[in-house]
Amino acid sequence: MSQRIVAGVDSSTQSTKVLVVDVDDGTVLASGLARHPVEGTDGARQTDPEAWWRALRDALAQTGFARQVAAIAVAGQQHGLVTLDRAGRPVRPALLWNDTRSAPEATLLIDALGGPAEWAACTGTVPVAAITATKWAWLRRAEPHHAAATSAVRLPHDFLTERLAGRAVTDRGDASGTGWYATSAGAYEPRVLDLPLLELDPALLPEVCPADQPVGTTRRPAANDLGLREACVVAAGTGDNMAAALGLGLTPGQPVLSLGTSGTAFAVSTRRPGDPTGVVAGFADATGRYLPLACTLNCTLAVDRVAALLGVSREDTEPGGNLVVLPFLDGERTPNLPRASGLLTGVRHDTTAGQILRAAYEGAVYALLDALERVSEVGSGVDPAAPLLLIGGGSRGAAWQDVVRRLSGRAALVPDQRELVALGAAAQAASCLTGEPATEIAQGWHTTRGAVHDPVARDDETLYRIAAVLDRSRPLLDA
């Protein structure tokens, strides 16, 4: 029997990664990476969607396997607002998930539907600046000419999938991060789309398709441009967090901390989540279940920035002192402080750069662990005996591993496989070929195999110190 090969794509905030995978045993045969720019200052974060397509082409070419790929799936950064004209061209650069200019619109939208509890009950998610609906509201206010020129509204992964297959589609996982898809009904929500702040015609939105079924095959122009064959099966794709859950083969209750540019805490849930506080986003996953998730804007990028300001390596942490660093360098989402800046307190004459850096790690991890606790409460629970699955670029860092274990008191499992979003997309593509559930495919690929780091005693003193400073400083942070 000839080898069956699939491609999984991770189109993230700053780069596109492609894994070419053997369907039968999960062997990664090749990989490719191409970067794309992120532009903007003062809360603005945007990218030309065409840069994602060019990066996909370049990353696929690097693998050397494009012509042999039988199926492909795209996982993309969530929430981004892609606006297209009648010819399918971008009207303007896409507004990315971490563009915080729409924070005022988030507040207005919450009130417009009747408050946080109504949003949580209906869509599963209370609007924050990251959510797509707030960005569309911002565009209508700040750039009405661009909103008027828009004939189609897409998410980043939708844009790429449509270019591949010629069909305007999305999946329930990524759609659940828009703010206008109701997890309660499994469909776009008319009450949200009709709000005066949005007035969005559902005809401008893609069809929501099952994530485990093909949506078509590659169109000739796309196949020629990317070096794929025309008969290549195209899966529906999904959001990056949903793909990471697929890549891990997650079962309900397994806790995950993703340490990337942003940080996320999530777990698969059998119970539909809805958190009226807005801390936890009540997403759907890509399997028919749910993915309660809490996100922090400031994770590895913020801590690395602190290290750079201090002139030390990211691993040069030192114990000691009573410092607290709240590294909210780009505002923050958990806690919801979109206008926040960083805060450092407890400095003395004998304070060292290494102590300040360790406190920055602690501030970032504190926010993530607090988020995970809320995920457990809102979803169907997190297994307290299970190790924390650490993924993302920071998961390999000794300092990150140390602080996570010290502040959680739990063991940490770091999978050997690094590109779990792309691997989850590959599992989805393989599912479209074989008919086997993507989660079971990933489990058969043993994607969580890796090093287990034993637990250490929980550092309650540091936890209490951070909590006290955060509570006192909230009015100052969001002034």
The sign of the CA dihedral 243, 399, 358, 300 is negative
Residue 47 — φ and ψ, nearest 5°? Answer: -145, 140
Pairing outcome for strands 5-11 and 343-345:
unpaired
Helical H segments across 131-236, by residue range: 132-142, 144-148, 156-165, 172-175, 190-193, 220-226
Q: Which residue is catalytic, options 158, 174, 240, 275?
A: 240
Which helix (H) or strand (E) segment holds residue 49: the answer is: helix 49-63
- Those residues with Cβ within 8 angstroms of residue 175's Cβ, 6 or more apart along the chain or in another chain: 155, 181, 188, 208, 284
For tokens 């729409």, name the residue.
102
Catalytic residue list contains 416:
no
Tokens 């069956």, residue located: 4
Strands 5-11 vs 71-76: parallel, antiparallel or unpaired: parallel
Angstrom distances, CA of residue 26 to CA of 242, 413, 431: 19, 20, 12
Q: Is 142 helix (H, G, I), strand (E, B) or coil?
A: helix
Q: How far is CA 204 from CA 90, 152, 165, in A?
A: 14, 4, 18
What are 466-474's contacts with CB under 8 Å, separation 24+?
Answer: 466/324, 466/326, 466/362, 466/363, 466/366, 467/366, 469/324, 469/326, 469/343, 469/345, 470/326, 470/335, 470/366, 473/326, 473/343, 473/345, 474/335, 474/337
Whether omega for the bond prior to residue 335 falls within 30 degrees of 0, making it cis, is yes
Cα–Cα distance, 419 to 424 (Å, whole number):
9
| Catalytically annotated residues | 240
